[in-house]
C-alpha cells in the first residue's frame, strides 16, 4: 500500500555543481501555517543562524523570519551539505525553541541569470507583500550578513 502524502524530494545539488560556490534560496515552513508561532522565537532563530555562520556551518547572506516560515539566502561549505546542515538546524531549533517544522523545505539554487540582489529584494519585501509593514526596514525579524 502506498503512503499518502508528500514525496520526499532530493535537495543536494548534482555532483557537477560546487555547492560551496552557489547561493541557495530556501523557504522553511512551520508545521502550523496559521498564526504566528515563529515570531515568538524570531530573535532566537536569528541568533541560531548567526551561530551557524560564526561556526562555518553555512554562509547566510540574508534571513527573514515570517510568522509561519523562514527565508534564507545561504551558501554551504564544501564539507557540509544543504540537507544535513538544514536538518541539524531544524532539529536544534525544534528541541531548544519548540519550533515544529514541516518535514521538508523549498530550495532553489540561484542560476547565472538570477541576481542575488533581486532575490534579496524579494525576500526583504516579503513582510510588505504580506501586509505586515509598509516598508521592509520596519520589519524587526531579519538579518543581513555584513
d(CA 89, CA 93): 6
Exposed, middle or buried by CB within 10 Å (0-12, 13-18, 19+), for 49? buried
* Nearest-angstrom CA–CA distance, 133 and 23: 27
What are the Cα distances from residue 110, in Å, to 13, 54, 68, 102, 114?
11, 23, 23, 23, 6
pLDDT score of 104: 87
- Predicted structure pTM score: 0.84
Query: Which of helix, strand or coil describes residue 116?
Result: helix
Instruction: Check whether 9 has a pLDDT greater than 70.
Output: no
Which is more confidently placed, 58 or 4?
58
**Average pLDDT over every residue of 16-33:** 80
The pLDDT assigned to 26 comes to 96
Write the CB contacts of 89 (distance below 8 Å, at least 6 apart in sequence): 48, 49, 52, 57
The per-residue pLDDT of the chain, averaged, comes to 86
Contact 82, 76 (CB under 8 A): yes
pLDDT at 11 (0 to 100) = 47
Has residue 137 got a pLDDT over 70?
yes
Residue 111's pLDDT is 81
User: Half-sphere exposure (CA, 13 Å, Cβ side) for 63?
Assistant: 24
* Least confident window among 20-24, 65-69, 70-74: 20-24
pLDDT reading at 96 higher than 70: yes
Looking at residue 1, its pLDDT comes to: 47
| Residue 44 pLDDT > 80 | yes
| CATH number for the segment(s) 23-144 | 3.30.70.1290
Question: Residue 23: pLDDT above 50?
Answer: yes
Amino acid at each position: 500500500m502506498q503512503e499518502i502524502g508528500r514525496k520526499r524530494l532530493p535537495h543536494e545539488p548534482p555532483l557537477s555543481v560546487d555547492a560551496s560556490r552557489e547561493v541557495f534560496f530556501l523557504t522553511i515552513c512551520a508545521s502550523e501555517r496559521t498564526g504566528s508561532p515563529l515570531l515568538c522565537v524570531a530573535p532566537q532563530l536569528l541568533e541560531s543562524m548567526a551561530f551557524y555562520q560564526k561556526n562555518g556551518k553555512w554562509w547566510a547572506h540574508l534571513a527573514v523570519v515570517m510568522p509561519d516560515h523562514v527565508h534564507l539566502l545561504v551558501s554551504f561549505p564544501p564539507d557540509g551539505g544543504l540537507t544535513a546542515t538544514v536538518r541539524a538546524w531544524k532539529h536544534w531549533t525544534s528541541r531548544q525553541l519548540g519550533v515544529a517544522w514541516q518535514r521538508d523545505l523549498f530550495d532553489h539554487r540561484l542560476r547565472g541569470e538570477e541576481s542575488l540582489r533581486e532575490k534579496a529584494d524579494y525576500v526583504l519585501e516579503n513582510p510588505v507583500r504580506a501586509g505586515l509593514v509598509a516598508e521592509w526596514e520596519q520589519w524587526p525579524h531579519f538579518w543581513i550578513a555584513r
